[in-house]
A = this chain, B = another copy of it.
Amino acid sequence: MRYARFEKDGVVACGIVEGDQIAVIDGKILDEGDRTGKTYTLDSVKLLPPVIPKTFYAAGLNYLAHVLEMAEERGVKPNIPEKPDIGYRANNALIGHDDTIIIPKDATEMVEYEAELVVVIGKQAKHLSEADALSCVFGYTIGNDVSERTWQRGDRTFWRGKNADTFKPMGPWIETDIDLDSLQTTVRLNGETTISFETNKMLFGVERYISAMSKYLTLYPGDVIWMGTEGKSPQMKHGDVCEIDITGIGTLRNPIIRES
């Protein structure tokens, strides 16, 4: 099932996506509300980030080639993580499908995409084993961990390098029926494929992350875990359009402009 959050005529609502239609439900996505009987065409609504998390988790370094290529670019020894230490991103930066990524006017040219599988938590959970880890998962969506590499590397934290307003597109919706091993992530910049990789070929998989995290912290409904990205991105510039496709979920598309 595909759950979306959207705005129509100034009102925020949730619904089930079926083909090019969206069937409105009562209540929020994670409550799996009843159908109200009202239906809209998808192209007549504005899709919003499907959830605003209580805590916004991000794996960071979780695919081998990404770790190696980022280290090579910086001329440093690759630091391959030995355990799943989870990181964070910030809610101010979230935008939805088709929203515009705005590059701040004083950013360098080093603005890049990172295509990520996003895990959406559905049930409060602590102390989950790896075998039980997926029991707290509601579904999956797509994230673009937009990064200004000069700030990412020069600042003491990721506050503007990764969390400037509009730097965290998430969507288009949450898919609940997923076979992780069958997923393929593909990125297109202006229609041209720039990378394609097996989504689940991670250093530490979803089960491993959830089990490790939940040893020390409680996961809450609506929390999201961005699972990291593979490879290296070309620079994105004013006028570009970035599309991230994960088979079985959908496509997250965002145009890019530079603030003038």
Cross-chain contact A92 with B218 (CB below 8 angstroms): yes
Cross-chain contact A86 with B217 (CB below 8 angstroms): no
Secondary structure of the A side of the interface?
loop
Bound Cα distance from A216 to B218, whole angstroms:
30
Q: Can you show 15 pairs from A to B with CB atoms below 8 A apart?
A: A55-B90, A60-B156, A85-B159, A86-B159, A87-B159, A88-B88, A90-B217, A92-B217, A92-B218, A93-B217, A104-B216, A126-B165, A159-B216, A160-B217, A164-B217
Residue of B nearest to A223 (CB): B92
Binary per-residue interface labels of chain A (51-62) against chain B in the complex, 1 for a CB within 8 Å, 0 otherwise: 010110000110
List A residues 71-111 near B (Cβ within 8 Å). Answer: 81, 83, 85-88, 90-93, 104
Bound Cα distance from A131 to B54, whole angstroms:
32
List A residues 206-229 near B (Cβ within 8 Å). Answer: 213, 215-220, 223
The answer to whether A163 has its CB under 8 Å from any CB of chain B is yes
The answer to whether A155 has its CB under 8 Å from any CB of chain B is yes
Cross-chain contact A165 with B93 (CB below 8 angstroms): no
Partner of A81, one of B86, B92, B156: B156
Nearest first, the 9 closest Cβ-Cβ pairs linking A and B are A85-B156, A160-B216, A164-B216, A87-B157, A85-B155, A86-B159, A55-B90, A92-B217, A85-B157
Bound Cα distance from A247 to B165, whole angstroms:
35
Partner of A220, one of B88, B92, B160, B216: B92
Residue of B nearest to A52 (CB): B54
Bound Cα distance from A218 to B216, whole angstroms:
30
Given A54-B52, A160-B216, does the pair A90, B88 have CB atoms closer than 8 Å?
Answer: yes
Bound Cα distance from A90 to B92, whole angstroms:
14
Given A88-B90, A91-B55, A92-B54, does the pair A60, B217 have CB atoms closer than 8 Å?
Answer: no
Bound Cα distance from A155 to B217, whole angstroms:
15
Binary per-residue interface labels of chain A (101-137) against chain B in the complex, 1 for a CB within 8 Å, 0 otherwise: 0001000000000000000000000100000000000
The distance from the CB of A206 to the nearest CB of chain B, in whole angstroms, is: 16
Contacts of A156 in B (CB 8 A): 60-61, 81, 85, 87
Cross-chain contact A217 with B81 (CB below 8 angstroms): no
The distance from the CB of A247 to the nearest CB of chain B, in whole angstroms, is: 30
Name the residue among A156, A218, A220 with the largest chain B CB count within 10 angstroms: A156
Q: Beyond the given A92-B220, A165-B217, could you list 14 further A-B residue pairs with CB under 8 A, ordered by the A residue number?
A: A54-B92, A55-B92, A85-B156, A85-B159, A86-B157, A86-B159, A87-B156, A88-B88, A92-B219, A93-B217, A160-B216, A163-B217, A164-B216, A165-B216
